[in-house]
Structure 1
Amino acid sequence: MARMYPEEYREEPESPSEAERILYRELQRQLPKDYEVFHHRPWHAPNATGSARDGEADFVIAHPDHGILVLEAKSGGVARDPKTDSWSAVDYGGRRLRQIDNPVLQALRGQKALLRRLQSIPAGAHRWWTIGYAVAFPQIDFDVALFEVTPEIVLDRKDVPYLDKWVPAAMRHWQDRERHRAPGPEGIEVLRSLLAVGFEIRPVMGSPTAGVDQELFRLTNDQFRVLDGLARFRRTLICGCAGSGKTMLALEKARRLAEQGLRTLYVCFNTRHGDYCREFLKPWSRVTASHFHGICRAWAHKAMIAVRGPREDRTIPEQVFYDRVMPGALARAARKLAADKFDAIVADEAQDFKPAWWGALLALLKDRRKGMLHIFYDDSQKLRAGELKFPSVDSQYDLVENCRNARRVHNLAMRFYKGGLRVVSRAPQGPEPDIQVYRSPAELLDRVHAALARFVRELQIPLNQIAVLTGHGKAKSVVWRARRIGEWALTEKAPPGREEVYWSTVHGFKGLERPAVVLAEIEPLSHAELDTLLYVGCSRARVYLTVIASEAAAKLGKLDRSSS
């Protein structure tokens, strides 16, 4: 049996194809194991002008000795007008249904696009590629003379039972007898790296959380479906709850775009999250990663645009500065820095972007109308009041499986989820979250110390895998002002030093996570604000969670041990 990518047939709900279903089944069944078949594998590559161009093939069939074949499949019957060379789909009664693209030219375009893509990556740039193309009509008897098509590159109903002979014959048709060079195992590996790329983040081995983490960090079928969609459409909108892998997918998409030679902007809302993602994406020079106001500041500086804020002019409110002044400076800078614009933008934490910011971001694209834009958001993590508004997109996806948090942590966090998705978790149960209540500042500090001592001494969790998150910022936080919790000092620096524990506000830690979290200083707010705080805070913990709330907050949020 041939090796198939994906391993199971995945039908496009918007455009089901009986021809593709037939061919997938028969190619898998008939071809020997040294063949690899890639179904519906899209890619992006720069064209001659430097702009991004889409590529896709119904099937790419590869063999280390025979070569590579791009196969375009058509369901049902077809008709061709010889005067205009226009093609139409035909039903079983002979009635013309709709005009379609010339399938031979489609296959040719797919072959050329794949060749350009392979030659654009370092591993494939200096290789000789034997790539042919063909068309398949597995449900009809096709008259090649009538349609003026070379018979060797046409597959019809009569050929379907003999694909093990037809495929190598079609590949031989494209071989140059004097200069043919087989792709070999190395060439197939290059092709596989382009069309069947995978992604996995592995846990820190030796950690007491590693057993649960190993289950949490494999991509779900949902996520693979979204990654496929991100490659097939130029503009997408992805909604997911906390823990559904939005950031992991956003980073992976930015990386893939960069490896396809496209200048890519990864932009998020949170400053610390932006710092983490910039470090993660540092190996890929074609990616610029920043939080939104960081990119505003950087572009304004490069365009030599002076930006006056509250420090220079006390009459400018801080909120106005961040919501209007800085995005306006970014839009002006974009008009001056045309050479620095991007082929693609990946926007994470987009629920916190003001609607007016999108105009400035779209101005950063080389092609404002057709440039690639992939937007990730959580409809229940919104920090700012107002309606969610995004640019128009080609396709939307929902991530409905939590793949970050142990199930008991997930269950507690979802009590405070107010979004519209029906979220599930198939993760291991993990330990029960610990709910603590305090009645005074001194008791708060004692409980934080006890939680840290349990994590470090009893559970043997390394300090760099623990975070202390508080509901208050520096000015009001009793925990932060203490600066030391027992023998451990609090720090904002990541990674923390020896005998230090990382501290952040809950909102400052959005988009980030730790295997163990102490969520402390949860004070009574409005019901909606408290729900958001608890939802975001609880979902930062992958495995171990201790919540330390005031009596009033615990009562308002209905926090007790049975709630988890």
Structure 2
Amino acid sequence: MKRIIHPPLDAHNRLRQPLTAGEQAVLSIFDQCLSPGWEIYIQPHLNGLRPDFVLLNPQVGIAVFEVKDWNLDAMRYFWTKDRNGVETLWAERDGKAFCIQADNPIPKVRLYRQEIYELYCPRLGYNSRPGRCDGWGAITAGVIFPFAAGSRVEPLLAPFLPKRDEEDYARYAPISGTEAVAAADLRRIFPESQRAHSRLMTNALADDLRGWLVEPDFSSTQREPLMLDRRQRSLAETRTETGYRRIKGPAGSGKSLVLAARAARLMNEGKQVLVVTFNITLWHYLRDLMVRGIDSPQRMNNVCLMHFHYWCKHVCYEAGWDARYHHLVRGGGRIVPGQRQVLLDDEIPALASEAVEQPGATKYDAILVDEGQDFHPHWWSALRKALVPGGEMMLVADATQDVYGTAKAWTDEVMQGAGFRGGWAQLDVSYRLPPAALKMAREFAQRFLPAETAQLPESEQGDLNLYPCTLRWVQCDKADATSVCADEFLALMRLTGRNGLANADITLLSEATSVGAKVSQLLEDRFRIRTLNTFSADNIEQRRQKMGFFMGDARVKATTLHSFKGWETRLLVIYVDAAADPKALALVYAGLTRLKRHTEGSWLTVVCSARELEAFGQTWPSYARPAVRRVNPGFGGG
């Protein structure tokens, strides 16, 4: 029986957070000494928590461990009581004492144990004795110090341990030091590992937990080098005679991939690169692509990633025009809501266009613009002024995803005045979408989008049976949208823990921010499921949330269709409440094209309250129109 280890051992040299020497030693002991039924999860995503190790055996139990590579001789470690009489952990170096309670492993493993019991295995213990919930005995929460003697560690941490039932507690909360690690003494490190069976554990309970432990698809992808086909590689590795290049292609054809690969190549050459997007959330996606293409981590110092309006602010500040900028943004105290779009589309870019011409403005060897269909031509003109003579510019676009109605401004005449010669470089094949989802996206575009701007994705030859997917459409009234979305979200959670699916890959997209916020709150309040979301009613907080949105976060995701443009995932719920105008329809299309193909399957559920799309939804492989849906309060996963 081959042991399950996530991430797999052959991927450990490419982990974004390499294992410490102590963690390597502990992993070796676990792998060599545990019976084959024990699964090992390394730095798992646990709904926002990141323990060093979680061990799982469906027949025996669960264990969570923190590993501390502390050298107790490097500093003086001690505990003292704070002003409230609470014990806290401190250290002293060079005569200066400082609190390290935040690094105290005892509260951490105690929290891990509590949340595994209460949140991630909520049914644990129900199958033991009638009327009792004694599932705590199935969970070990231990701390390991590979380089510190246990005889020194134990008194240091003693004040933070419970005083009752010490012998029994020690069995389920072992603290071990260098003696046990050096001897590979698994009995001391993890006493419960000697069990062969526990009446408290079942396969179903293990399934509850696995969805939180399996490495998200995004994290495993990050370890792989950028993969480009011949056409994409040609565009990424060459420049035109003028240095200007424009690329168009449908969703999933690799436009952002080419842009990131080109940026990485230029960064490797020592060039200074500016990458500009419209959406704030796209930064993380592009940055993570670039990381996979650079030859040294230091190369990331050669790139600036900004959304367009942040660049405008940046160049105004560089010119010393911060007062002018803020006066304009605030409208001299007289701005009204109707002026906001003019301010964003015209007035701020005009000021930036003037500011970038001032002495000392930062210039770049290359400027690359993603999601170019969202830009106005005069924005591009402003950016051109930040290019060094003989520099390089790239624009990538998909007019089919014209969610702001700006793509029609990019006429051939305008393009010639923007520095471009010749036609567009074209990408046609979608490498993102599974064939069944691609078919539905094409049908949607043909049915609802303008033929003159629609560029439909083509499938890769021979991929028909390689990438299975499950497509579901649920039509509902707006009054039921929150409960239906939550229910469908939870249904996807029942799929995780196998086939490479993790809860952290599940994403809810809702342009109706009120619905998105309510679903996020419902998941948090009723199921204690934390979401990484961008639905704050406060504009400043919402902007901060967007800045922090990235798929590598350990939590489940919830954001708007606008903010998810450019991203992709295998587990997706989309809520659609509007489809009455071209922009709304383009946004729905953009959402339908966010599904990522995988040989082990992908899942897309559309929850729709827009009557205009009901007939289209009825053509999907799975269609439902429940009278009223309620979230299942007894959900436990598995």
Report the TM-score range of the alignment, normalised by the length of the smaller protein: 0.5 to 0.7
Where in structure 2 are the equivalents of 1:314-329 lying within 5 Å?
314-315=334-335, 317-329=339-351
Amino acid at match of 1:465: D
2:493 to 438, 456, 466: 456
Partner of 2:572: 517
After superposition, where does 1:153-168 map in structure 2 within 5 Å?
Answer: none
CA contact (8 A) 1:263 1:286 kept: yes
Distance 1:553 1:479 in 2: 24
Partner of 1:416: 444
Q: Check if 1:555 corresponds to 2:614.
A: yes
CA contact (8 A) 2:259 2:370 kept: yes
Aligned partners of 2:507 and 2:558 also within 8 Å: yes
Matches within 5 A, 1:83-102: none
Provide, for residues 209-248 of structure 1, a one-character-per-residue CA deviation record: whole Å limited to 9, x for no partner: 9999999984233322332454666111100111111111
Q: For the structure 1 residues 215 and 409, does the alpha-carbon distance in structure 2 shift closer, same or farther, using more than 3 Å as the test?
A: farther
Q: Aligned partners of 1:523, 1:557: CA distance in 2, in Å?
A: 14
- Is residue 253 of structure 1 aligned with residue 262 of structure 2? yes
* Contact persistence 1:402–1:424 (CA under 8 A): yes
Shift of 1:329: 2.4
The one of 309, 330, 344 equivalent to 2:329 is: 309
1:220 equivalent in alignment to 2:229: yes
Q: Give the counterpart of 1:268 among 268, 277, 281.
A: 277
Give the aligned partner of residue 53 of structure 1.
none
Please identify which structure carries the higher helix content.
Answer: 2
Q: 1:336 to 1:382 in 2, by over 3 A?
A: same
Correspondences of 1:365-444 after superposition (within 5 Å):
365-367=387-389, 370-386=390-406, 387-389=408-410, 390=415, 391-395=418-422, 396-417=424-445, 418=449, 419-421=453-455, 423-426=457-460, 427=463, 428-442=466-480, 444=481
**Do residues 528 (structure 1) and 562 (structure 2) align?**
no
Corresponding residue for residue 252 of structure 2? 243
Q: CA deviation at 1:513?
A: 1.8
CA contact (8 A) 2:473 2:617 kept: no
Name the amino acid aligned to 1:541: L
Counterparts of 2:251 and 2:245, CA distance in 1: 19
Aligned counterpart, 2:302: 286
Distance 1:476 1:501 in 2: 13
Is the partner of 1:270 in helix, strand or coil? coil
| Alpha-carbon distance in 1 for matches of 2:269, 2:552 | 38
Equivalent AA in structure 1 for residue 565 of structure 2: K
One-letter code of the match for 2:507?
Answer: A
Q: Which amino acid aligns with 2:432?
A: R
**What corresponds to 1:508 in structure 2?**
563
Alpha-carbon contact 2:249-2:426 (below 8 Å) kept: yes
SS at structure 1 position matched to 2:245: strand
Instruction: For 1:558 and 1:534, locate their aligned partners in 2 and report how far apart those are by CA, in whole Å.
Output: 12
- Residues 302, 345 of structure 1: alpha-carbon distance in 2 compared, 3 angstrom cutoff: same
Cα separation, 1, equivalents of 2:346 and 2:469? 45
User: Deviations for 1:190-221, whole angstroms, at most 9, x for unmatched residues?
Assistant: xxxxxxxxxxxxxx996689999999984233
Task: Looking at secondary structure, tell me which structure has more strand per residue.
Answer: 1
Which sits farther off after the overlay, 447-456 or 226-235?
Answer: 226-235
1:491 aligns with 2:532: yes
TM-aligned CA deviation for residue 547 of structure 1: 0.6
Matches within 5 A, 1:326-365: 326-338=348-360, 340-365=362-387
- Structure 1 distance, partners of 2:426, 2:552, is 39
SS at match of 2:281: helix
Query: Offset of 1:448 from its aligned partner?
Result: 2.0
Normalising by structure 2, we get a TM-score of 0.50
**Which residue of 575, 595, 609 maps to 1:541?**
595
Structure 2 segments unaligned to the other structure (5+ residues): 1-212, 292-296, 534-547, 597-601, 624-638
Task: Report if aligned partners of 1:349, 1:378 keep a CA contact under 8 Å in 2.
Answer: yes
Residue 548 of structure 1 aligns to a residue whose secondary structure is strand
Structure 1: how far apart are the matches of 2:440 and 2:226? 20
- 1:525 match: secondary structure: coil
Change (3 A) 1:205 1:563: closer
Distance 1:462 1:475 in 2: 24
Percent sequence identity is: 22
CA contact (8 A) 2:579 2:613 kept: no
- Structure 1 unpaired stretches of 5+: 1-203
The whole-number CA distance in structure 1 between the counterparts of 2:253 and 2:525 is 32
Letter of the aligned partner of 1:287 in structure 2? V
One-letter amino acid of the counterpart of residue 262, structure 2:
K
- CA–CA distance in 2 between the matches of 1:214 and 1:329? 42
Which amino acid in structure 2 is aligned with residue 318 of structure 1? R
* Distance in structure 1 (CA, Å) of the matches to 2:216 and 2:290: 25
Question: What amino acid is the match of 1:457?
Answer: R
Question: How many residues in Structure 1 have an aligned counterpart in Structure 2?
Answer: 357
Match of 1:296 in 2: 312
Q: In 2 relative to 1, CA 434–212 (structure 1 residues): closer, same or farther, beyond 3 Å?
A: farther
